Amino acid sequence: MNVQTYTPFPFIMESAKGSWVYDKEGNKYLDLYGGHAVSLLGHSPDALVDAIEEQGRKLYFYSALGNIEIRDEAAKKLISFANCNLKKVFFCNSGAEANENALKLALQKTKRDKLIGFKGGWHGRTLLCMSVTDDPTWHASMPKWFGPTDFCTLNDKSSLNKIDEKTAAVIIEPIQSMSGVNVASIDFLKALKARCKEVGAWLILDEIQTGLSRTGVPFVSSIINPDMATSAKGLASGYPLGALLMSDEIEISSGDLGSTFGGGPMAMAALSATLSILPGADKNAALVEEELRSGLKSPILTEVKGKGCLLGLKLTKKAKDIQSVLIEKGFLTGTSGDPFVLRLLPPITISKDEVRLFIKAFNETFPLAS
């Protein structure tokens, strides 16, 4: 039997198209969550489906032993889209795998053994990722498997003194989505970069949720220029794919990295199609944020957190309860580590009319006092 790792939505999902999901009874739901921020361009965009079908009929799979032109083309497109100092790409299958390899490389190449994460940070379920994820229960359950790790505080420059000459790498999410949509200021990220450079530690930006125009810019890395950045989630619009982007200064030797399915031709076709659709979508993400900030008016809403299409609604009521009510109204949203923050991770192609449907339903369901 299938192991349930999450509590699923209370209906059988039958199909999906664009911003909408349909159940077996024909009911439709506006998807403002996208399966953990994955459906970046909505569900089953025609250009993506066509690209995957065409590639599947041509060359369905070969590992990295195969010299495949579409892989090189996709890497060049991703580097160009990121538009920063990161000029090399390693393809893998997930965000956790990308983060794991970034942390592993830092430990190997710097020959240091200390890692730094951030309070509220979340980076995945592999061992190195768990060590820099702020989850005390994980750390207590597997203490002897984790090396020296410490945690700084988001937007607190005084906490950066924990980063020292023993530190191999620091990993940070520009927006901590899982813990409640906490935004790192650009000023803080620049101070973090300066501290890492001062002591010789590598800076890794975990852009698994913030990348690919979701926050209104292609990648936050284009502003900060870290040593490495990781990407996944919407990277191939739902086809499993992760990527580790690296600066040219990082030397990779044979055997340092490897992934049987990483960079497979089907994933590369999905990535290339995604990148061909994305130009200009950053502007729509910014418009979605503006529409939601100006339109949502309810006594249960105290703050709209985040950027672009990665937003958190700070509520006076438990987010889980509000999520359940919204499902009944035909809207899919997400919860977070903060029980009072409801997450909105809609496709960045969502229309203004669709956003306004949600605003109207939210305001009418949780109205202002008369």
The answer on 189 and 96 residing in a single domain is yes
> What is the model's pLDDT at position 370?
46
pLDDT over 90 at 62, yes or no: yes
- Which spans in 151-300 are helix H? 186-199, 221-224, 265-277, 281-295
What mean pLDDT do residues 246-258 have? Answer: 95
Tell me the per-residue pLDDT of 192-202, one tens digit each, with 9 for 90 and over: 999 999 999 99
Q: Quick check: is 1 in a domain?
A: no
What mean pLDDT do residues 271-297 have? Answer: 95
Tell me the per-residue pLDDT of 94-132, one tens digit each, with 9 for 90 and over: 999 999 999 999 999 999 999 999 999 999 999 999 999
The answer on 146 and 19 residing in a single domain is no
pLDDT over 80 at 369, yes or no: no
> What is the model's pLDDT at position 219?
97
Output phi, psi for 356, to 5 deg.
Answer: -70, -30
Q: Quick check: is 151 in a domain?
A: yes
Give the lowest-confidence range in 29-33, 64-68, 269-273: 64-68
Question: pTM here?
Answer: 0.97
> What is the model's pLDDT at position 355?
98
The domain boundary residue, chosen from 277, 307, 334: 277
The answer on 273 and 292 residing in a single domain is no
- Euclidean distance between CA atoms 288 and 292, whole angstroms: 6
Q: Quick check: is 7 in a domain?
A: no
User: Which residues span the domain enclosing 160?
Assistant: 46-277
Tell me the per-residue pLDDT of 135-191, one tens digit each, with 9 for 90 and over: 989 888 888 888 999 999 999 999 999 999 999 999 999 999 999 999 999 999 999
Q: pLDDT > 70: what percent of the chain?
A: 99
Q: Quick check: is 317 in a domain?
A: yes
Q: Provide the CATH number for the domain around residue 104.
A: 3.40.640.10
Residue closest to 29 by CA, chosen among 45, 44, 10, 48: 10
Contacts of 240 (CB under 8 A, 6+ apart): 93, 94, 261, 267
> What is the model's pLDDT at position 143?
83
The answer on 360 and 237 residing in a single domain is no
Tell me the per-residue pLDDT of 233-251, one tens digit each, with 9 for 90 and over: 999 999 999 999 999 999 9
The answer on 218 and 159 residing in a single domain is yes
> What is the model's pLDDT at position 138?
87
The answer on 180 and 41 residing in a single domain is no
